[in-house]
Homo-oligomer: A and B are copies of this chain.
Amino acid sequence: MATDYCSIPSTAHQDPELVSRKSKSENTIVSVNGIPIGGKEVIIMAGPCAVEKEEQLVQTARIVRAGGAAILRGGAYKPRTSPYSFQGLGLEGLQMLERAKKETGLSVVTEVMDTRQVEVVAKYADILQVGSRNMQNYPLLKEVGQYPKPILLKRGMMATIDEYLNAAEYVMAHGNPSVILCERGIRTFESSTRFTLDLNAIPLLKERTHLPVIVDPSHGTGIRTLVSPMARAAVAAGADGLLMEVHYRPEEALCDGSQSLYPDDFGLLVEDLRKVAEAIGRSIFKLKK
C-alpha cells in the first residue's frame, strides 16, 4: 500500500489550486443572509471580544447595528494564553448570540476551537471563525470544510501568505467554497503594539486569490487609538470588510478591553470609512431595516 504515496516525492511543492486566482479570476462573493462579502461594498463586523452576559451582548449589538455594522462578532469559546483566564461561556454564550441576532437582525460570527464543537457552533452561527492559533489546526480545517457555513479563517500570527493560502485550500478541498480571509496582525520584533497589523497582506492576497479579504485592526494592534487610522488604511488598501471590537463599557470588559472601541467612536469611525470607501469607488454595506 505504501506504493500509493511513495510516488509522491517529499520535496514536491503542492501549490494551492482552489483558492487561486489562476483557477477562478473573478472575485468570490460569500453571501451571508443576503450580505455580500467580497463585492463592491465593504462589510462592517463588530461586537465584543467575548460574550460575557446577555445585557452586555444585546446592548453592544444594538450599538454596532445603529453605527453601521451588518455582522455581530462575539466569542463563546475563547482561546486564552493562561488556563486561569476566562475561557468563555460556551453553549450559553451561543444562545445569547442567537437572542442578540433576533433582537437586532445582525448575522453572527463566532469562533470554533475544537472539531467536537463544530456541530453545535454551526447550529447557532452564520459564520464559523477559525482563530489565528488554529490556522494550522488541520483536523479543524478539514472538519469545518464539511459544513455548509461560511468560514472566517484568520491568518496565523506567524504564517506566511503561502501558508495562509494553503490553510484556506484545506477548507475548500474538503468541500466548503465559502472562505473569508482575515489579516489580524503578525508577530514581529516591534513591541510598541501587541502585533504588527500587516496591511501589505491585502493587495498581496487580492493578487493571488479570489476569496474576500477583511482586516481586524483591534487584535492586529491591541491599542484603541490605532484602530481608527488602521481601519481607514485597510479600506484604502482594498479590504472587503473590517472586524472590530466594540464594547458598551470597555473598562468592564473581561478580555481585550484596552483595544475595544467606545460606542461613540465606532459611529464616527464608520462615517470616516464611508468617505474613504467612496474615495476609492466603493461604499459601506448597509443593512435594510
Contact = CB atoms under 8 A, between A and B. Distances in A.
Interface of A: 1-2, 5-6, 8, 10-12, 14-16, 52-53, 56, 79-87, 92, 113-117, 133-134, 136-140, 142, 156-158, 160-163, 166, 169-170, 173-174, 186-193, 196-200, 202-204, 207, 221, 225-226, 229-230, 232-238, 252-258, 272, 275-276, 278-280
Chain multiplicity (copies): 4
Nearest to A113: B139
A253 B8 CA distance: 10
Given A188-B188, A230-B200, A137 B134 contact: yes
B85 A14 contact: yes
A200 B192 CA distance: 10
Given A114-B139, A199-B199, 7 more contacts: A1-B92, A8-B85, A16-B82, A82-B169, A115-B115, A116-B139, A199-B233
Contacts of A191: 160, 191
A218 to B, nearest CB: 13
Nearest to A207: B225
B189 A160 contact: yes
Contacts of A254: 5-6, 8, 10
B196 A163 contact: no
Contacts of A193: 200, 204
Contact of A190 (B117, B134, B161, B169): B161
B196 A200 contact: yes
Contacts of A2: 52-53, 56
A229 B238 CA distance: 7
Contacts of A166: 81-83
Contacts of A258: 10-11
Contacts of A114: 115, 139-140
Nearest to A172: B83
B234 A84 contact: no
A289 to B, nearest CB: 27
Contacts of A229: 202-203, 236-238
Contacts of A5: 52, 86, 254
Nearest to A190: B160
B200 A221 contact: yes
Contacts of A52: 2, 5-6
Given A83-B173, A257-B11, A161 B233 contact: no
